[in-house]
Amino acid sequence: MIVTSINYNPYLYQPTVLTISQVATQFNVGVELIRKWTENGLIPHIGLTNGEYRYKIKEVRDAFLKNNLKDG
């Protein structure tokens, strides 16, 4: 049997590196709160040359648990 295409389901795909807005959505908090936590060193991030951040989802999840981060 020759496979000519891969069954790709975009609803099952989750990237491992997220933008700031994707992190905010994933953890149900605002973008400004994610930015504040990033600048205070509570969330590990990857700084891009254009000033934007990227986040590894596993590291962010671990930081949320370790630092007991929540809205407020």
- The pLDDT score that the predictor gives to residue 55 is 94
Q: Which residues pair with residue 54 across a beta bridge?
A: 46
**56 falls within a domain:** yes
pLDDT at residue 12, rounded to an integer: 59
Whether the pTM exceeds 0.85: the reply is no
Is 28 within the bounds of a domain?
A: yes
Greater pLDDT, 11 or 52? 52
Asked, for residue 3, whether it belongs to a domain, the answer is: no
**Is residue 57 situated within a structural domain?**
yes
Q: What confidence tier does 64 reach under pLDDT thresholds 50, 70, 90?
A: confident
Q: Is 12 inside a domain boundary?
A: no
Residue 58 lies in a domain: yes
Could you tell me the maximum CA-CA distance found in the chain, to the nearest angstrom?
56
Instruction: Convert the pLDDT of each residue in 3-45 to its tens digit.
Output: 445 555 555 566 688 999 999 998 889 999 999 999 999 999 9
Q: Is there a domain that residue 45 lies in?
A: yes
Two structure tokens written together for 27: 């953890």
Any idea what the CATH number is for the domain that residue 26 is in? Answer: 1.10.1660.10
* Structural domain range at position 52: 17-67
**In this structure, is residue 53 part of a structural domain?**
yes
